[in-house]
Amino acid sequence: MKPVIYRNALLGALAADALAMPVHWYYDTNALDRDYGRLDGYAAPKNPHPDSILWRSRYHPHNERGDILREQAQYWGQRGIHYHQFLKTGENTINFKLATELHCMVLQRGAYDVAAWADRYVDCMLTDGWHRDTYVEEYHRAFFENYARGKAPIHCGIDDIHIGGLSQVPALLAAIAEIGITELDAQLEIVETHTRLTHKNRHVSEAAATLTRTLHGLASGKSFARLCESINYLEEMARPFPTWAAFPDRVVVGRHLSLACYLPESFQASLYLAWKYQDDFSSGILANAHCGGDNCHRGAVVGSILGAANAIPKQWLTGLIAYEAIAAKGLPT
């Protein structure tokens, strides 16, 4: 069992998210191509975002304890606003910024504690300037609505079915492996406890467990192709992959499978891209970004699997802001 494989999985997930960030939630791939062309590295987001739905959304926190957007709330209700308009080239979206925070916290404490993380999550989200995302997912808004109404953080999660619930899994596994928790059952228990803090949904739990089993298998020296034949849920999802491989990526992820964020279909789309590009990290995360839709959160799966299965080319570490931040704290990279 090699903890370095888990660290590579984390870095792969962070890279996939940062790459996809400017083209996140583009459902019109012609517009994606027009606005960004063929990405070959990290880029900054541009306004207007033609597929943004912020124009039909409103944000009204119950009180200060629920105000996780602050100055960003003014952009809700406007047309063309990019969800990540203030992020820099190579910067991660909010769920992956939280993942990096989680990774650092577990290493600093030498243990995972769900109550301690719930408190840190609250502190981060309510600290002015901690994040600069204009959009925050529904689970964040619901969590802090519950918190604003007096619930303890440990009890503020909701039933949420989005693939964003997997964003922190690679970071958590990298941290607990680093402190010596490498036995699969122990990892599964910690991941389940963590994901259910915010996502009390069986599809999220099932996908998180499958990703945990997959990364554990890769860290044990197994190939992804072999794991697709030996992990039950993974085997079930992978059955149509050889047939789909005859089609362009945007036909598979866009027609055969939805571009949207809902599990289990978004998980299957992520696994397909990881399967197709299992020997090529760069091609895999680029394909994921160019498919559009919820490519950032698919990146948690695509990037972590490909990062664990392959060496990550230096180009994806250079300019990745989270990588630089982790290294600056003197933590393992």
pLDDT number for residue 327:
67
Q: What is the DSSP string of 311-325?
A: PPPGGGTTT-HHHHH
**Interhelix angle 114-125/138-148, nearest 10 degrees:** 100
The percent of residues in the chain predicted with pLDDT above 90, rounded, is 95
pLDDT number for residue 328:
58
Q: What is the DSSP string of 137-151?
A: -HHHHHHHHHHHTT-
Give the CA dihedral 274, 277, 282, 285, nearest 10 degrees. Answer: -30
CATH fold label, 3-44+81-117+157-328: ADP-ribosylglycohydrolase fold (1.10.4080)
**The model scores a pTM over 0.85:** yes
Mean pLDDT of 50-76: 93
CA separation, residue 185 to residues 30, 173, 177 (Å): 45, 12, 13
Number of H helices, E strands in the chain: 16, 0
Q: Which residue has the tokens 């933590």?
A: 331
pLDDT number for residue 331:
46
pLDDT digits (tens, 9 = 90+) for 85-141: 999 999 999 999 999 999 999 999 999 999 999 999 999 999 999 999 999 999 999
pLDDT digits (tens, 9 = 90+) for 279-323: 999 999 999 999 999 999 999 999 999 999 999 999 999 999 999
With the C-alpha atoms ordered 18, 54, 67, 150, is the resulting torsion angle positive or negative?
A: negative
Nearest C-alpha neighbor of 14 from the set 42, 44, 47, 45: 42
How far is C-alpha 181 from the geometric centre of its chain's CA atoms? 22
Cβ proximity of 172 and 153 under 8 Å: no
pLDDT number for residue 329:
53
Domain ranges of the chain: 3-44+81-117+157-328
Q: Which residue has the tokens 């915010």?
A: 198
